[in-house]
Structure 1
Amino acid sequence: MLSSALRRTVGSARLLVAKGVVRQPAARAFFVLGPRLGEVNTSMIGPGAKPGTIPDDIEQATGIERAELLAKLEGKELFDIDGLKITAMGTKKNPIMVKSVDTNRYVGCSGFPVDSHETIWLSVEKSHEFDRCPECGQVFKLDFVGTEDKGHGHHH
């Protein structure tokens, strides 16, 4: 039922465009997130494709995706994708510290010793004294290494 309603809507929109009642825009707009902190870096915007060609990933990528692809071209990893090296059970007195530039971060706990239970995802937050895995009791604490300035200039 929904699909037939959508077909009728799309079909009538095409008819209006064909009759010249509604003009189709020359270019389709899209949204690109700018960097969260600091000024716009033009290296974060790809050059685009040459006329008549199809862009590859590097030419059309923007923002964090572009930064990640450029880092891979240099043989580097932009993001730390290795798991935490847990050698002891996290406790309230000695929690597992999780570095983050944001005020919260998701952590997958697989228990201690490692893989002693299924992975449980926790939100570790700066505002919490600590966060605990409900399965094994492992304690995590956020080590906030970011900046308080969100970079959006509202100063509120």
Structure 2
Amino acid sequence: MTTEHAAGGVGHGRAPRCSGLVRLRELRQDDRGAVTAELAVALPAVVLVLAALLVVVVAGVSQVRVVDAARAGARAASAGESDGRVHEIVAQLAGSSASAAVGGDGSWVIVTVRASVTGGWFSGPLTVSATATARVESSTGVP
């Protein structure tokens, strides 16, 4: 079975074949601008994910600082330090914007520390807090 092509040639039932190079050029011309369009769509999403990740990391670091400050404040308060000194220790470890509340009964001391974490335009203000408890050290019976 033979067929005639528009160019006047005779074939055997198949369309004329394009060379691989010609087909590759056609594909490249058809896809012009596709990468730019995909990048324009994907880039804002990547930026938002990175911004969210940054806020989470900053909040995590702030939480660790607040936990350390509460622990150190409770230790200082249990050793008999004044509330002013406990606030100084908390401010030194958690930052000057952190607030501390010292309380407890006669045998236990409870220190609660709160600090604000700014999330920028991505999120509202976040608050991290930690509470530490320590037994009041007695000075009797110490050699």
Indicate the TM-score class for this superposition, using the shorter chain for normalisation.
under 0.3
Between Structure 1 and Structure 2, which shows a larger proportion of helix residues? 2
State the TM-score, normalizing by the size of structure 2: 0.25
**Rg bigger for which structure?**
2
Whichever structure has more strand as a proportion of its residues is 2
Provide the TM-score with structure 1 as the length reference: 0.24
